Amino acid sequence: MARILKDYPSVSLEAEDLAGKIDFVQVFGRAGPVHIEIGSGKGTFLVNQAKAAPEVNFLGIEWARRYYRWAVDRIGRWGLANVRIIRADAGVFIGEHVADGSVDCFHIYFPDPWPKKRHHKRRFIQQGNLGQLLRCLRAGGRIRIATDHAEYFEQIRRVIAAAGDRLAEIDFLPTAGADAGEWVGTNFERKYLKHSRQIFTLAVEKH
């Protein structure tokens, strides 16, 4: 029997209701560090990390409707007051609605690699989007990335390197939901590890 997915209005943000830059204090009903996950899938990371760090406000961005609905249901069932999620194009949403210096960390785990060369322009991690992330990060803010795609990882390294001394590489530490041998503990990572695929990670801090 298929799981019935419930909607939780307290969890989901509606893109059409937003105008200008959003106020995270108003969204979460409190002040606190803000972490944004780009491409939240079914919400595994958000749930595990939000439970482990209740002092942090987490916002997930997911475009695929079926994954978004699953994540809303999962977050709502756990009753997590420090998580919100929105169905939106991440690049557009961040550019239009996230204020300068308002984010403490961006999490980007297993972004779509768009493996065909003619589709590489659709990859999220490229110069324009990195510029937006840097704008939104506070000083000392971080970007954490994990992927199983070696060629995309090389591109990511080139994009990060082009930022020069604005970003410094730091250790990538496993997340709260990661089991032994895992980095982030998401559904995608576990699927790739079963097929013995190498996981590449990178974490950087804004100066």
Residues tagged active-site: 112
For residues 98 and 92, is the Cβ–Cβ distance under 8 A? no
DSSP state of 195: T
Q: Shortest CA distance to 44 belongs to which of 171, 184, 183, 141?
A: 184
Q: Which helix (H) or strand (E) holds 68?
A: helix 65-78
Cα–Cα distance between 147 and 109 in angstroms, integer? 6
Angstrom CA distances, 97 to 3, 49, 90, 130, 184, stand at: 33, 23, 10, 16, 27
Max Cα–Cα distance, the chain, nearest Å: 53
